Amino acid sequence: MKKFLKNFLFSTMIITTFCVTVSCSGRQNKNVNNSMTDNNEHEKTIKEDNLSGHLTMAGSTSMEKLANIMAEAFMEKYPNVTVSTEFIGSSAGIEQVIAGTVDIGNASRNLKESEKEAGAVENIVAIDGIAIIVDKENTVNDLTKDQIIGIFTGKIKNWSELGGKDQPIVVIGRESGSGTRGAFEEILGIEDQCKYANEINSTGGVMAKVVTTPGAIGYVSIDILDDTVNAVKIEGIDATADNIAKGKYILSRPFVMATAGEISKQNEIVRTFFEFLTSEEGKRLIESIGLIPAE
């Protein structure tokens, strides 16, 4: 009996010790995990509070909405950072980033080989569509690719040739050096062949000119479309982000935020800005203005 009692007490002590150890270990692991989470949040807060300085970007007028929404959100997240934006056209923006006068050059087209050779790195951040727009009174709402080419090269001169009113077609385009113009003409294979009645130096300017000019037609980024103009279908396909994502809409192009060298070689503010762009929050902001986040 004494031997049995001794063995029983010994077994009980082992079980109790094991349970206490496991319990403590569980609490310790939980505490470690909580501590790691707290530390990560603390480090995140420190970075948001401590990151300070200035970020500059310049370039495409078509990217104004994207640049501004990202700049505002980034400055809200990092209150000690200021972001300045300038909208001077794609080519001018790339020239400035190559020259080192800005951190980021915005281009609404792919970079040229000459720009890459000069040190600019193409960072595609979103995909945009180019909408064909006409004034609100125009009854033509669908065009084929060949008809668009005919209009912009001056071979089709009157809306009556397309089933519309007997009215001259007024072709509105962007200035030389515009990323939108470059992408539009390249996609349609009509570089240096367009016959523009007016060449406008901003996306908003094209919109305004089409609104106030009877018989006008032009092209703009889909993210600035509003009800002051009619966006024409191409081959029966609407200019929407969904159709662009599915590859149905032919007039699409990249939005590029170019840097002088790889992103990894940039200063901390620029690196953090690109991290923000590709975060879930950044992607939601891109989608909120009708663009498609780059993969």
The pLDDT, as a whole number, for residue 41 is 53
The token pair at 14 is 């082992």
Distance CA 110, CA 121 (A): 10
**Is residue 158 within 8 Å of 166, Cβ to Cβ?**
yes
- Output the furthest CA–CA distance in the chain (Å, rounded): 117
Cβ-count burial of 187 within 10 angstroms (0-12 exposed, 13-18 middle, 19+ buried)? middle
SS3 state of residue 198: strand
Instruction: Give SS3 for 43.
Output: helix
CATH superfamily placement of domain 128-252: Periplasmic binding protein-like II (3.40.190.10)
Contact 204, 224 (CB under 8 A): yes
pLDDT at res. 8:
40
Select from 3.10.20.340, 1.10.10.10, 3.40.1530.20, 3.40.190.10 the CATH code of 52-126+254-293: 3.40.190.10
Q: In angstroms, rounded to a whole number, what is the distance separating the alpha carbons of residues 293 and 295? A: 6
What is the total residue count of the chain?
A: 295
3-state SS assignment for residue 236: coil
What is the predicted pLDDT for the residue at 22?
42
pTM for this model (two decimals): 0.77
Q: What is the pLDDT of residue 268?
A: 98
pLDDT truncated to tens, each residue of the chain (295 aa)?
Answer: 444 444 444 444 444 444 444 444 454 444 444 544 454 554 555 557 789 999 999 999 999 999 999 999 999 999 999 999 999 999 999 999 999 999 999 999 999 999 999 999 999 999 999 999 999 999 999 999 999 999 999 999 999 999 999 999 999 999 999 999 999 999 999 999 999 999 999 999 999 999 999 999 999 999 899 999 999 999 999 999 999 999 999 999 999 999 999 999 999 999 999 999 999 999 999 999 999 999 7
